[in-house]
Every structure is written in C-alpha cells, then in structure tokens.
Amino acid sequence: MPKIQLYDTTLRDGAQREGVSFSVVDKLKIARKLDELGVHFIEGGWPGSNPKDEEFFHRAKELKFAKSKLVAFGSTRRAGTKPRDDANLACLAASGAKFASIVGKSSALQVKQVLETTLKENLSMISDSIDFLKSKGMTVFFDAEHFFDGFKTDPDYALRCLEAASEAGCLVLCDTNGGTLPDDITAAVKAAGQATKVPLGIHAHNDCDAAVANSLAALKAGAVQVQGTINGYGERCGNANLCSIIANLKLKMDVDCVTDAQLAKLTEVARFVSETANLAPDPFEPYVGTSAFSHKGGLHVHGVNKWAGSYQHIDPARVGNRQRSVVSELSGRGNIIYKAKELGIDLPPQGKEAQKLLERIKWLESRGFQYENAEASLELLLRRARPDYKPPFELVDFMVIVETGRRTPTQNSHDEMLAEAMIKVKIGNDIIHTVAEGNGPVNALDQALRKALVQFYPKVAVVQLIDYKVRILEESTGTSSQVRVLIESGDGVKEWHTVGSSTNIIEASWLALVDSLEYSLLKQNPSRKSSK
C-alpha cells in the first residue's frame, strides 16, 4: 500500500457536532496535539465563514509544527461569479495557509436541486476555483461532495466532476450523507482511480455506522488520503473516527502512518480533545476508551492473567491505554486478586480472603450496589477488609430533619422547606458533633460531615461533589423500592465515583457520600490535626 496521508478535520467538521464550540485558544491547543500525534494535515476551519476562524488562521501563523501542515477550508466560487470577485476564495487566499481544501458538488441531483444551476456551470465552478487558488501559490484539495450518492445515480457526471478538478493535488471522495456501505465504496473508488491519475482521498460520515470500515475499504481500493476527526466528532452521527483509523492502519494493516511513539499518544490526544470539547469521553470507544481493554467476566480475567492476548486483540500500551479488571457479581476470584494487585493490595492467590471478598461483593450487588462504575467504593471495600486498615473517621450517629414553616420565603423564592443534618463522628479519640443546613437532606449531610472533618483534615475542603445520580432498582415496589446512588467527586486534580444502596434514599446517599470523603482522605494521606 502506498504512503497514507492522515487528514484531520476535528477543528472544522468535528466542531459541527451538537454541543461543541471550540474557542480560538481551544483550536490552537488541539492543533498542537494533532501535530504531536503525527497527523499530516490539519484542517483549521473556514476563514470565509466566521471571525473566529479568521482569527485562528491569523494566530496559527505563530505555530511551529514538527510535521503537520495547516489547511484552510472553503467552497468553490458561487454560480455566476468570477473567482477574483468571490469573497470566500479571497479569504482562503489571504488565510496564510499553503494548503486549501474546497468543497464542490459531484452529484447531478445536488447541482440541480440545491445549487439550482446547470451541470456545466458547476464543472466550471470547480475548475475555476482550483485554478484561482493555485495561481495564489496554494496546493488545493478538492472535496467531491456527495460523490458516492452521485456515482450511484449518475456515474458519468460524478466522474466528470473529478475530471474538472484534475489540477487539484488530491480528489477527496465524500460520503457526505454517510449512507454508503464498504462494497459500494470500493467499486466507486476503483472507478475513480481508472478515470483520473490524481491521488484520491476518502471523507466518510458515520450515519450507518460504517465510516471507519468505509475509510479502510477506500484505502485498500487505492485512496491515499484519509480524512476523519478525533473521537469521530461531527454533524449528525459524526465522521470517521481518526483514532480507530490510525490504530487499524498501524496495527492491523502494517501501514506506518505514524511512529510507535506517536501511536502511544493516541489515548492521550483522544481524551484531551474530549475534555477541550467539554464532552464526557466515550468509555467504550475502540482503542482509546477506558473500557476498551476492561475485563468483567471471571473466565476472561482468569485468561488475561495467564496470557494478555487471550481476551484482547492488542497490547493496550501501544495506543497509550491500559488493561482493567472490573469487579461485579459476574466476577471470579481472579478479578479480585487482579484488582487488588492493581491497587497495591497484597492478596494471596491461594488464601480464603479473595473468596470471602468475592462472596461479599456478590451479596452487596444483590442488594443494589454496583462496583464496576464505582471503583473508589470498591477500593475502600478491599482496604477495609485488611486487618491493618484504620479508617480516618467513624460514624457514631446522624439525623436529618426536613420540615416547612421555619423559613420565611422571599418574594422571588418558593423555597419554604428546611433541611438540617446533625452528625456525630469519631476521629481518633474525639467525638465530634456538628449541625448544618442545606438545600436538601443530602447537601445538609455533606455540609455537616465536612464541618466535622475539616477540623482535623483541612484538605477535605477542596473536595467537590460533581454529580449525583439516583436509580430506582425495583420499579414495581413504588416508593419502597431499592435505590442506588452514584456520586462523582473531584479535588481539582482527579475524579472518583462511589456508590450506596438502600431502600432509604438518605441512607444510600450517606453511604456514597462517606465513601467519597474517606477515599479522598485515603489518597491525600494527610496527617491528622490534634483535637482542639
């Protein structure tokens, strides 16, 4: 297979995903990460469409890329307009980028129904725009929009569009609506390869969940440039996931599109982009997801403990990820032993401790607890089973009151209810009794417990509750149902998850809350202040 060009369009096509809005600073940071990953071309945006992208290209002139080339995106000239009078082309030429990617219709139906111009004029729009940008010293890639749909309905015209773009540096065949399957991709790419000598590329959307497969099929059929986005971000169902494409090319198809060191940054880059986009990373994303190499079934964990390749297709370290063992009611002793080892807890493989812990976990999960999404609670469960474990605090008693009538509502507020929590905890030899109010019973408990702990452990003040979820486990029993509470907490550096379960939502919340604060103290390992 010839050398493959990696073309990333996260900053333009990826930003069209609902809920994503990159700032200029965000885009500059992501561009640097993409260069570290070894991407050949970075599409920075559409400088003719908005001030943000114009500013990006202005500031991007200061970026010093080790490998990547910056590409400005735009469209062909408007129908009936000369290239020199087209504002969009002028912005591309003034962007400072040496490469331009312009999109044009390659479907006869799209030309007639959407552009509302003649087929001949569309061909002129393509060729005129490419010639104009080349005259400005730019290398031009032509995005043949709707190529595969156009090839199905009028293959002759679709190929004539490629012919009109014969002065381009690459003809990128676009599955714009994302509805094509690999066999049709292969046939169309081979036909395009016979009709032109210009290098071909592939730009696939994921509307039928085949974008990565379509991209790889196009490359095997002769394309040399593959476009995609990090994590598959994009409009509707997204674009081809460049993370999966890079890993598949490198590890499955023996294409050295990136170095081994760059491949090892893949997970880091994927998570950086998701954090910058303010989107939760998909834990089940191939190669880079936190669950991509997790093992839950006891048989699987038993196997990977003996041979890592027994239940995973690659060494996760090659893409910067790691193997995980998940503990649940489906686990065996191997899961417990593996997890304990992962946490630095010595658990003899031949002893009875692992079996006892496994039985307890299975019993707790039968009571509504779930540890695969609450690893902080699981770690505490394992550590509390050790004879030398000393908890930083112990509950003596607590009481929560929720009542109405003691708070006068303001004119613009309907908050008439008062939540008050009273807590007694033992810290060392001291019994601490605190009271606090909150905007609800869980918040009141949180405030009262912190009030007690902060006297001895000042660092607990930085811990914040990030998310709080309640799930009813037995809907048929109504308000007496077992409920599970999951709490996500953080200290500004890392986040962790804890779980509680009970038929009493306050007790379930308390169990998860106590685990959260105890876990934070376990990780901070603070020295306890003396009693006042």
pLDDT band (50, 70, 90) for residue 513: very high
Q: What is the mean pLDDT of the chain?
A: 88
Cα dihedral 270→275→277→283 (10° resolution): 60
- Does 388 reside within a domain? no
Same domain, residue pair 417 and 496: yes
The stretch 361-374 carries a mean pLDDT of 79
Pairwise CA distance, residues 313 & 334, whole Å: 20
Q: Does residue 437 share a domain with residue 317?
A: no
Neighbouring C-beta atoms of residue 429, cutoff 10 Å: 6
Residues 306 and 269 in one domain: no
Mean pLDDT of all residues in 144-156: 97
pLDDT of 529 higher than 70: no
Phi, psi values for residue 406, rounded to 5°: -95, -5
Query: What are the pLDDT digits (tens) for 295-334?
Result: 665 566 556 666 666 778 999 999 999 876 666 545 566 6
> What is the pLDDT at residue 465?
86
Q: Are 330 and 297 in contact (CB under 8 A)?
A: yes
The helix/strand/coil state of 336 is helix
Beta carbons of 174 and 142 less than 8 angstroms apart: no
Residue 284 lies in a domain: no
Phi and psi for 15 in degrees, rounded to 5?
A: -70, -10
The burial class, CB within 10 Å (0-12 / 13-18 / 19+), for 530 is: exposed
- Whether residues 78 and 142 share a domain: the answer is yes
Do 180 and 88 belong together in one domain? yes
8 Å CB contact between 230 and 236? no
Q: Are residues 37 and 83 in the same domain?
A: yes
Handedness of CA 308, 310, 314, 319 (dihedral sign): negative
C-alpha closest to that of 399 among 518, 504, 531: 504
Each residue of 73-130: pLDDT tens digit? 999 999 999 999 999 999 999 999 999 999 999 999 999 999 999 999 999 999 999 9
* Residues β-bridged to residue 496: 489
Position 406, amino acid: R
| Alpha-carbon distance values, 431 to 70, 259, 384, 452 (Å) | 64, 59, 21, 9
Q: How far apart are alpha carbons 179 and 207 in whole angstroms? A: 6
pLDDT digits (tens, 9 = 90+) for 462-475: 998 888 888 887 65
* Tokens read off for 302: 């038993």
What DSSP string describes 454-482? Answer: TTT-GGGGG-EEEEEEEEES-GGGGGG--
- Is the pLDDT at 215 greater than 90, yes or no? yes
Q: How far is CA 274 from CA 14, 30, 230, 277, in A?
A: 11, 10, 9, 5
pLDDT tens readout for residues 191-201:
999 999 999 99
Domain shared by 272 and 299, yes or no:
no
Percentage of the chain exceeding pLDDT 70: 89
Helix (H, G, I), strand (E, B) or coil at 113: helix
pLDDT at 488: 92
Q: What band does 7 get if pLDDT is binned at 50, 70 and 90?
A: very high
Residue 482 forms part of a structural domain: yes
How many beta carbons lie within 10 A of that of residue 64, not counting itself?
Answer: 6
Domain hosting 318: range is: 294-366
| Structure confidence at residue 526 as a pLDDT band (50, 70, 90) | low
Residue 459 has a pLDDT of: 87
CATH number for the domain that contains residue 491:
3.30.160.270
Q: Are residue 104 and residue 211 in the same domain, yes or no? A: yes
Q: When comparing pLDDT for 234 and 374, which is higher?
A: 234
Same domain (yes/no): 267, 357:
no
Are residues 410 and 330 part of one domain?
no
Would you say 325 and 372 are in contact if contact means Cβ atoms under 8 Å apart? no
pLDDT tens, 385-433? 888 888 999 989 889 988 876 555 555 555 567 889 999 999 988 999 9
pLDDT band at residue 532 under the 50/70/90 scheme: very low
Q: What residues form DSSP beta bridges with 437?
A: 420
The answer to whether residue 115 sits within a structural domain is yes
Looking at 348, 366, 384, which one is the last position of a domain?
A: 366
What is the average pLDDT across 249-267? 96
**Is 112 a domain residue?**
yes
The answer to whether residue 192 sits within a structural domain is yes
Residue 371 falls inside a structural domain? no
The pTM assigned to this predicted structure is: 0.73
The pLDDT score that the predictor gives to residue 333 is: 61
Q: Is the pLDDT of residue 49 over 90?
A: no
- Classify residue 408: in a domain, yes or no: yes
Tell me: do 245 and 320 sit in the same domain. Answer: no
Q: What is the pLDDT of residue 425?
A: 92
Average confidence (pLDDT) over 205-226: 98
Number of residues that make up the chain: 532
pLDDT recorded at residue 3: 87
pLDDT(500) > 80:
yes
Chain position carrying tokens 């965000």: 26
Overall domain count for the chain: 3
Q: Does residue 139 share a domain with residue 232?
A: yes
